[in-house]
Structure formats: structure tokens, C-alpha cells
Amino acid sequence: MPAREYAVKILITDKIVDEGIAILEKKGYTVDTRYDLTPDELLAVAPDYDAFIVRSATQMTAEVIAAAKNCKIIGRAGVTCDNIDVDAATACGIPVCNVPTSNIVSAAEHTMALMLAAAREVPAANASVHEGAWRRDAFMGHELFEKTLAIFGLGRIGGLVAERARAFGMRVVGYDPYCSPSRASQLGVALYDDMSEVLPLADFITVHVPRTEETYHMFAAEQFAMMKDGVVLVNTARGGIIDEAAMADFMAAGRVFACGVDMLESEPAADTPLAEFDRAVLTPHLGANTEEAQMRAGVNIARYVANGLEGLVVPTVINMVADDLADSVAKYIPACQMCGSMLAQLGGDVPKTLSIMAAGPCAGDLQVLSASALGGVLSRHGQASVSTENADASARRHGVKMDACASADSRGYDSIVSMEADGLEISVTVPGSLHEAHIVSILRYRLDVVPADHSLVFLYADEPGQIGRIGTILGEEGINISTMAIGKRAGCHEVLVFLNVESEAPKEVVDRVSDAIGATRAWSIRL
């Protein structure tokens, strides 16, 4: 860590785990936890801090960000940064980072909990027993089995919900204009490109889209009118996506059987028209409230914020930091850093060559993409802060021969960056405005994966039972798989499996899996 002349101060305004705070304190930072600040108090203390860590309750407004004159990084100990004025942070040159996979399993499990609770009226039945009643006939629910679930938003959480719903024997249909057909088919979801076609099919509907101008009141009276009678709706995404007043009207009319809602339009929710219905199962934004999710979120955001303060790669920066950079390029900075870091880990050494090929609007600034990729590569070898100014010198110093070119073939994506280090290839695309990097090819195996902090990659002969063997061994070793993608390569009998895992797998475990499946190559990757 560089020598510091003054105490670097970090303000944490929403509760994170003690283990995260300990990481920062161990590095010598002064950490203040102030979970009770009013907006005015936050504004008053903002100039004193070098970094901020928040969850969803703190509003990091443009005013607070402008007041935070010493701020070098803002960390969100969770997924969604809609409580942070990211544009204001960008304008001030402040990176904003999050932990985009920390709580997705918890949110998906909470979705299933609400779906089941709503379908079987668990809260009302529970309340009646607590009141001393025994009314078995009053509660007649519905099975999930062989019902149609419509998922709106097939991103990280929507995808995990699809997998879980299929385990319940549900038919899964989906609507997500930004989801590729290959991802949908990998998830076993029949993808539709018109929302009005999906609504009449569904017995259950669950929402996993971000709250944007486009998704605000995406479910209003007009959409409720298209739904089947007796539908069950679940919203663990964001308040305001479902029009609560319209849903209350359709519940009152008996058209909606029940709903499960974790996210209400105004939070904390003083009053919602849904509160009058026993069959409205309401929870106070608990999607991420598990020991496991909070441990991941708190520990990893602490690491990323420390990285940011130390000038190291922060893999999940969601905004650009250069003033005059178009968003179409800026969002590829963390993506290229991440791929660079992965390439360095796949190759195991500083590569002798690093080639970047970009297609689409992101190709507007090849220098920035190259510097970011090199920064990622060198971050595994002691140098992270590569900028366009020092990229050539850094490459020379480390003996990396670099080239970059634009291509006209974006392979059906809006933009794509392919990079090759000593012949090892990775391609990445960042769809929409979500700033989430999807790896769409590794070593020329095509797949679609959003890498997590820890992942495992195996190359092996494509035979039945291999995935089961991997899952069994990792399960025995206590390593939870959060997501999995299988990559195929034309004319190749081997497949590549990419597993996002929730904790680092020790070498012995990777070796055990490799032996069991006869892997020809195996890597444990850490971002």
C-alpha cells in the first residue's frame, strides 16, 4: 500500500458485515459507520470522506456527491445502484462499483418463497393458527407443478428463478428484449418478443427487470386485463414496476389470486393499497437479507473499495471516469479489465502478445480498450493502473507486444470486444445500459456468462454425467455453484464448462474434479 500522509476515511451509511469493516480497518483506513444519518447530516459530513459504502437506503444524490470533494470511490454493497446518482459521480470522475452477484441467489430464493407463500396463503393461514383458529377449508391453494411461469427480465436473478421453477416442474416462458435466444434456451425458457403474448399464458408472473423509465408501471391496468383469472404475481425487483393501485383493483375483483411483493413503490412503505389483502404477501425489501448474501456483499465491496483507494483494478466499476468518453466505449473499460485479468489467469504468465479487436460503437476508442485490457492483464502481475498515457510504456516494460483494430463484424451484438493473449481468446459484450459484461466466447467456445468473483473453468470430453460429477464433488467440498454455462465449439468433441462459485475452490478440489471428469484443462479464476 502506498505511504499516506493523512488518515484515509471511509464512511459506511448502511449496515454491512463486520468482516467487511475489518478488511478496511486492517489496511489502516479510518472507518466510520453511521447508519442513522439524515440526508442533511450526510451532506454535512460528505466532504470528510475518501470513500463511501452504501446499500439501498442511502440516497447518494448529486448534491451529496458534489459535496464529497475528497471522494475517490463509492461502493454499493449489493446489486442495484439506483440510489446513487451515477451520472453525477461520473461527472465528478468518481468510480461507482457494486457486487453484482452477491445477493442474486438470495433474491431468487426469496422470489420462490413469496411465490409459494402466495400460492398457498401461508401468511394468512399462519396468522389464523396463531390466533387460535383451525380453519382448514379457508385456505385452498394452488400447485406450482405443471403451471406456466412467466419471467419478465431474464438477467442474473430471472435466470436463477427459471432454474428453480423448472425444478418445481413449471413450464417457463419469458419476456426480455435484451436476452439472447441461446441464453433463453440454455435456461429452458420459451422466449417471446411481445409482452402481450406472454401475459395471457401465465398462471404465475415474476418480475426481474431494473426500474427504468421503460419499466415503470410496465404492469398497469391494461396488462392486468390481459392476464389469466387467478394469476399469482411476484415482485422482488423494484417498486413501481407493478402499478400497486391497479393490482389492488384486480385483487379486489378476484382476478388476481394472490401476490408476493418485496419491493413497494415508496420505501419505507408507509401505506400501500395492497396492505388490505390477506393474500398480498408483503416483505420489507428482504431479498438480500441473508447471512450468506450479506457476507459476500460486505466482504467484496470492502475489497473493491480498498482496491479503488489503492489504484488497483476494481472489477465492477459501473461508470466511466473520463469526462469526454462516450458511454458506448466507457462501459467497456471494466469489461476489458476483467477480460484482461481472466486472460492472464488462463495463460498463467504475462503474455508476449495481446491483440484487441473491437466491433460496433465501442470501437470508437481502441486506445482506451487496449489500455484497459492491458491493465487487467498486468493487474495479475503487480501493475494495475494502466492508462492511455502509460499503456505503451507499460507494455514495453512487461514485454507485451500489443495491437488493436476495429472490425466490421460485431457477430450480431451491438458491440463486441475480442481479445487474444498468446493465442488464448475471450470475447465480451456489454448489452444495454446495465454495464454488465457478458463473456460470449472463451478459447473460441461460445457461451453466455457473467463472471462472478470466483469461477472454475474445465475443458473435457462431452459425455453424459459429467456435470453431475462436477456438482457432486463441489457439493461434497462445500462449494456452492451459483451459475453455470456450457460452451461449445464447432467441430470439437470437447466442451468448456464455466461455473460461477460462491467461494474459492482450493487446488486439491479443482484437481479432484479434473480427475473425475478427465478434464484436459482446468482453471480457477478470481476477479
Ligand X SMILES: O=C(O)C(=O)COP(=O)(O)O
449 phi and psi angles, rounded to 5 deg: -145, 145
Supply the minimum distance, in Å, between the C-beta of residue 177 and ligand NAI. 6
Residue closer to ligand NAI by CB (options 56, 466) is: 56
User: 183, 238, 303, 454: which one is catalytic?
Assistant: 238
Question: Residue 340: which of 298, 297, 389, 398 has the closest Cα?
Answer: 398
Supply the minimum distance, in Å, between the C-beta of residue 460 and ligand NAI. 28
User: 285, 296, 438, 454: which one is catalytic?
Assistant: 285
**218-253 burial code (b ≥16 CB/10 A, e <16):** bbeeebbeebbeebbbbbbbbbbbbbbebbbebbee
Query: Does 227 engage in binding with ligand NAI (CB under 6 A)?
Result: no
* Residue 267: active-site member: yes
Query: Does 20 engage in binding with ligand X (CB under 6 A)?
Result: no
Residue with cell 393474500: 279
Residues 100-119 that bind ligand X (CB under 6 A): 103
Query: Does 319 engage in binding with ligand X (CB under 6 A)?
Result: no
Query: Does 210 engage in binding with ligand NAI (CB under 6 A)?
Result: yes
Q: What is the 3-state secondary structure (H, E, C) of 206-226?
A: EECCCCCCCCCCCECHHHHHH
Residues 389, 392, 393, 398: what is their CA dihedral angle, to the nearest 10 degrees?
130
**401-419 burial code (b ≥16 CB/10 A, e <16):** ebebeeeeebeebebbbbb
Query: Does 78 engage in binding with ligand X (CB under 6 A)?
Result: yes
Q: How many CB atoms neighbour CB 362 within 10 A? A: 30
- The entry of ligand X, ligand NAI, none near residue 55 (CB within 5 to 8 angstroms by kind) is ligand X
Interaction pattern, residues 267-296, with ligand X; x per rule: CB under 6 A? --------------------xx--------
Query: Does 394 engage in binding with ligand NAI (CB under 6 A)?
Result: no
Query: Does 330 engage in binding with ligand X (CB under 6 A)?
Result: no
Supply the minimum distance, in Å, between the C-beta of residue 159 and ligand NAI. 7
- The entry of ligand NAI, ligand X, none near residue 93 (CB within 5 to 8 angstroms by kind) is none
Distance separating the N- and C-terminal Cα atoms of the chain: 19
User: 267, 292, 477, 504: which one is catalytic?
Assistant: 267
Residue type, 262: D
* Residue 285: active-site member: yes
**Helices within 317-451 (DSSP H only):** 327-330, 332-347, 366-379, 391-398
Supply the minimum distance, in Å, between the C-beta of residue 140 and ligand NAI. 29
Part of the chain binding ligand X (CB under 6 A), chosen from 75-83, 135-143, 365-373, 500-508: 75-83
Residues 271-310 that bind ligand NAI (CB under 6 A): 285, 287-288
User: How do 521-526 and 454-461 pair as beta strands?
Assistant: antiparallel
Residue closer to ligand NAI by CB (options 16, 79) is: 79
Question: Residue 500: which of 474, 516, 514, 480 has the closest Cα?
Answer: 480
Q: How many CB atoms neighbour CB 170 within 10 A? A: 22
Supply the minimum distance, in Å, between the C-beta of residue 16 and ligand X. 9
451 phi and psi angles, rounded to 5 deg: -65, 140
Supply the minimum distance, in Å, between the C-beta of residue 313 and ligand NAI. 22
The SS3 assignment for 324 reads: coil
Residues 110-169 that bind ligand NAI (CB under 6 A): 152-158
Residue closer to ligand X by CB (options 72, 285) is: 285
The SS3 assignment for 484 reads: strand
Q: What gap in Å lies between CA 416 and CA 498, rounded to an integer? A: 20
Supply the minimum distance, in Å, between the C-beta of residue 446 and ligand NAI. 19
C-alpha cell at 111: 422470489
Residues 39-58 that bind ligand X (CB under 6 A): 55-56
- Site for ligand NAI, rule CB under 6 A: 79-80, 103-104, 107, 152-158, 175-179, 208-211, 214-215, 236-238, 262-263, 285, 287-288, 432, 434, 436
- Site for ligand X, rule CB under 6 A: 55-56, 77-80, 103, 287-288
Q: Supply the residues annotated as catalytic.
A: 238, 267, 285
